């Protein structure tokens, strides 16, 4: 799983990305440059600094990763990013009185993440706060958190029964999801107009409930069948997904409304003002 987030340092936004597979943070270099220098044109500052570092033989340039982040115009652009270790090297090349406070801030961000990994409840508490700030209803938040608990119990079962790699988790998740929705996870995200966002954070209450039903059913079937490894858990996944699919079709038949929806919680795109030309 990959996660994009905005962290705040002294009232300044720093776009970040947590890579679950590598277990590390990536930070937008442009945002960090702006924080450290106060420059109104951080892109130019970074461009000049990159040339300087390259001429000096620095290997930092080779460690840059480009990730898509949302910009102020609401669109996503490829952005130069560095992990914490390489970002600390970069900070040494930027004369700034904020360098030391920023290093301490980086350490705090890393520490909080380690706390969340060792104590998932802290992660849920922070998630609840973020969802509240984004205007989600208490009913939606409760359903989202309940669904996450169901998800965690399923992945715990997988871990204890021969499912180890992240791509195996993604494979099994996709089987369950496609079985009950008729869509692959990626197709569902495309339907909602999502890119790097977490699909579950943009599900309707009904979508969350049926996702939880599919995953709860999958775990209970896997436990009864004593499923081991990816192939056997894939069979359990199809069975669990079908239970949610049958329930979804029954509800749609009764209400005449589709459960799977293109609706999302994305902010409306900002419209650029047209400048009228004077004759």
Answer yes or no: do 142 and 189 share one domain. yes
Answer yes or no: do 193 and 238 share one domain. yes
**Could you give the CA distance from residue 200 to residue 246 in angstroms, rounded to a whole number?**
21
Answer yes or no: do 191 and 112 share one domain. no
Is residue 234 a part of any domain in this protein? yes
Instruction: Say how many domains are in the chain.
Output: 2
Answer yes or no: do 159 and 250 share one domain. yes
Is residue 264 a part of any domain in this protein? no
**Residue 19, beta-bridge partner list:** 2, 24
Answer yes or no: do 109 and 143 share one domain. no
Residue 84: give the domain boundaries.
2-118
Q: Which residue has the higher pLDDT, 1 or 52?
A: 52
Cα four-point dihedral sign 180, 181, 184, 188: negative
Phi, psi dihedrals of residue 3, rounded to the nearest 5°: -135, 125
Q: Tally Cβ neighbours within 10 Å of residue 256.
A: 6
Is residue 42 a part of any domain in this protein? yes
Answer yes or no: do 111 and 152 share one domain. no
Is residue 272 a part of any domain in this protein? no
Find which of 42-46, 78-82, 126-130, 242-246 is predicted with most confidence, using mean pLDDT. 242-246
For 24-56, letters b (16+ CB in 10 Å) and e give ebbbbbbbbbbbbbeeeebeebbeebbeebeee
Q: What is the pLDDT of residues 196-218, one digit of tens each?
A: 778 998 999 999 999 999 999 99
**Could you give the CA distance from residue 46 to residue 80 in angstroms, rounded to a whole number?**
10
Is residue 267 a part of any domain in this protein? no
Is residue 69 a part of any domain in this protein? yes
**Residue 12, beta-bridge partner list:** 9
At 11 the pLDDT is 57
Answer yes or no: do 114 and 144 share one domain. no
Answer yes or no: do 14 and 53 share one domain. yes
Answer yes or no: do 37 and 146 share one domain. no
This prediction's pTM: 0.58
Is residue 90 a part of any domain in this protein? yes
Answer yes or no: do 7 and 92 share one domain. yes
CB proximity list for 113: less than 8 A, separation 6 or greater: 18, 25
**Could you give the CA distance from residue 222 to residue 233 in angstroms, rounded to a whole number?**
6
Q: Which of 107-116, 174-183, 185-194 has the lowest mean pLDDT?
A: 107-116
Residue pair 221/154 in contact (Cβ under 8 Å)? The answer is: no
Answer yes or no: do 113 and 160 share one domain. no
Answer yes or no: do 148 and 222 share one domain. yes
**Residue 4, beta-bridge partner list:** 17
Is residue 79 a part of any domain in this protein? yes
């Amino acid at each position: 799983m990959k996660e994009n987030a905005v962290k705040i340092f002294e009232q300044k936004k720093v776009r970040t990305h947590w890579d679950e597979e590598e277990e590390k943070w990536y930070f937008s270099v442009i945002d960090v440059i702006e924080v450290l220098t106060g420059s109104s044109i951080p892109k130019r500052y970074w461009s000049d600094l990159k040339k300087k570092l390259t001429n000096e033989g620095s290997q930092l340039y080779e460690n840059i990763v480009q990730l898509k982040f949302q910009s102020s115009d609401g669109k996503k652009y490829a952005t130069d990013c560095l992990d914490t270790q390489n970002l600390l090297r970069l900070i040494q090349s930027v004369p700034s009185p904020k360098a030391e406070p920023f290093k301490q801030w980086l350490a705090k961000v890393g520490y909080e993440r380690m706390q969340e990994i060792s104590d998932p409840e802290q992660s849920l508490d922070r998630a609840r706060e973020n969802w509240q700030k984004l205007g989600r209803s208490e009913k939606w938040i409760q359903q989202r958190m309940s669904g996450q608990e169901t998800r965690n119990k399923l992945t715990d079962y997988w871990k204890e029964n021969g499912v180890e790699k992240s791509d195996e988790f993604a494979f099994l998740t996709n089987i369950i999801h496609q079985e009950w929705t008729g869509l692959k996870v990626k197709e569902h995200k495309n339907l909602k107009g999502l890119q790097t966002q977490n699909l579950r954070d943009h599900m309707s209450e009904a979508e969350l409930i049926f996702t939880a039903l599919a995953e709860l059913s999958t775990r209970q079937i896997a436990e009864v069948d004593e499923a081991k490894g990816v192939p056997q858990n894939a069979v359990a996944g199809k069975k669990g997904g079908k239970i949610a699919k049958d329930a979804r079709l029954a509800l749609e038949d009764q209400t005449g409304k589709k459960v799977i929806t293109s609706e999302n919680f994305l902010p409306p795109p900002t419209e650029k003002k047209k400048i009228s030309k004077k004759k």
